[in-house]
Amino acid sequence: MVVVLKMFLGEYYRAIDKKGRIFVPSKFREDLIKGIVVSKGFDERCLFLFSIDGWEKLQERILSIPITKRNSQKFARWFFSSASEEKMDQQGRVKIPQSLIKFSGLKKEIVLVGVSDRAEIWPKENWDEYYKDADGKFMGKAETFEELGF
């Protein structure tokens, strides 16, 4: 069976409430009805938000790495131990586990960023800084795209 994943696109400014819940953008909700997996991101201390289908696809890739490779096992333990399966409530909110809030430094103002196969959850000030740096690096610099293989 081929799983067709919808894309997560755009940036959405939100607030996290006292119970650690965030409103999921309506454009993301259809793909998240079956469930959500929230985990540590790979860099910048953002969080990843996957649909169940997207998570299973990533999980297959990670688990395909030979078990004999020590660093791959360390990575798998680190990554999977941080993950939490969550459900959206009727208002379209999802709870972020306290351990992930602490890891990422989320405060009241957050940004959900669509990154095609996943969404990322950023503290607003971190996202603003990251985006400003990326904008300066990529805006109007076609040679950068050639370096990336486009």
* pLDDT score, position 78: 94
Residue of 55, 49, 51 whose CA lies nearest to 22:
49
Residue whose structure tokens are 């990326």: 134
Q: Report the chain's C-alpha Rg in angstroms.
A: 16
* 16: three-class secondary structure by DSSP: coil
Q: Which domains are delineated in the chain?
A: 11-123 (3.40.1550.20)
pLDDT digits (tens, 9 = 90+) for 99-141: 999 999 999 999 999 999 999 999 999 999 999 999 888 877 7
Half-sphere exposure of 65 (CA within 13 A, CB side): 13
pLDDT digits (tens, 9 = 90+) for 41-71: 988 889 999 999 999 999 999 999 998 999 9
Instruction: Indicate the pLDDT class of residue 83, thresholds 50, 70 and 90.
Output: very high
* pLDDT score, position 147: 73
Question: Which residues lie across from 120 on neighbouring strands?
Answer: 48, 113
Cβ contact 110:11 at 8 Å: no
Q: Report how far residue 119's alpha carbon sits from residue 84's, in angstroms, rounded to the nearest whole number.
A: 15
| Per-residue pLDDT at 3 exceeds 60 | no
pTM of the predicted model as reported, rounded to 2 decimal places: 0.89
Q: Tell which wins on pLDDT, 10 or 150.
A: 10
Q: What is the DSSP string of 82-128?
A: H-EEE---TTSEEEPPHHHHHHHT--SEEEEEE-BS-EEEEEHHHHH
Average pLDDT, the chain: 91
Per cent of the chain over pLDDT 90 is 79
What is the rounded average pLDDT of the residues 83-91?
97
What tokens does 79 get?
């990554």
